[in-house]
């Protein structure tokens, strides 16, 4: 049984790299064995193909059953910040924030951290600062989605582009009813995801901890 599948967002990128690999392979075969630099180019292109295919992988996981108060990690990556701060776009109030940095080697599909109804979704064009820069949350290209739980608690997820990531994909539509671990979207080639939730929520992770989307619990709503 395969442990991974390829995400649909990877189709165009994998197709272009595969075509490049085939063309270089044909050039190498037609040129004979004396062009060593072509063989190096072919090896380099093959390594690039492996990296691109790996980037769009989706692991087959068994997700735990959680209650409606648990906030799951929306992305694979490393927790780089846990802080209390003002969220200026939607809440316009002080909230708890957890930031997850996604490196190029992480799985890059994003998932809803909690079930409920989507009450807000907005894409913002912007800069491409490094993802861990404090201003990247607002200054960078980003997409904000807010899920309202059955108990009326709003949880905000923000997909943030970085210096390398140049495309954010979101499947969120206002009014949709979603379940935790459903696909929220995809960020191509590494970046960051922030989660904002009300003060008083029990935080279950710490800075430096590696988390997996849909599996690790970031926090639990207590009210």
Catalytic residue at 191? yes
- In this structure, the number of other CB atoms found within 10 A of the CB of residue 26 comes to 10
Are the beta carbons of 47 and 161 closer than 8 angstroms?
Answer: no
Among 120, 119, 106, smallest CA distance to 165 is for 106
Q: Which residues contact 60 (CB under 8 A, 6 or more apart)?
A: 1, 2, 3, 4, 5
214 neighbors 72 (Cβ within 8 angstroms): yes
Q: Which of 121, 136, 191, 213 is catalytic?
A: 191
What is d(CA 209, CA 216) in angstroms, rounded to the nearest whole number?
10
| Residues designated catalytic | 191
């Amino acid at each position: 049984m395969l442990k991974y599948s390829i995400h649909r967002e990877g189709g165009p990128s994998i197709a272009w790299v595969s075509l490049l690999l085939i063309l270089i392979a044909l050039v190498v075969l037609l040129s004979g064995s004396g062009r060593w630099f072509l063989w190096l180019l072919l090896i380099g292109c093959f390594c690039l193909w492996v990296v691109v295919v790996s980037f769009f992988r989706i692991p087959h996981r068994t997700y735990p059953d959680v209650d409606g108060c648990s906030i799951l990690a929306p992305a694979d990556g490393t927790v780089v910040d846990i802080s209390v701060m003002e969220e200026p776009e939607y809440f316009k109030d002080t909230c708890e924030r957890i930031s997850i940095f996604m490196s190029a080697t992480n799985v890059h599909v994003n998932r809803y951290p909690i079930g409920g109804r989507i009450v807000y979704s907005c894409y913002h064009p912007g800069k491409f600062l490094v993802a861990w820069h404090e201003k990247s949350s607002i200054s960078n290209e980003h997409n904000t989605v807010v899920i309202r739980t059955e108990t009326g608690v709003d949880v905000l997820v923000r997909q943030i582009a970085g210096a390398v990531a140049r495309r954010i994909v979101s499947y969120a539509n206002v009014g949709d009813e979603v379940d935790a671990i459903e696909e929220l979207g995809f960020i191509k080639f590494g970046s960051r995801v922030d989660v904002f939730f009300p003060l008083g929520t029990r935080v279950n992770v710490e800075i430096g901890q590696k988390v997996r989307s849909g599996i690790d619990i970031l926090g639990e709503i207590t009210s």
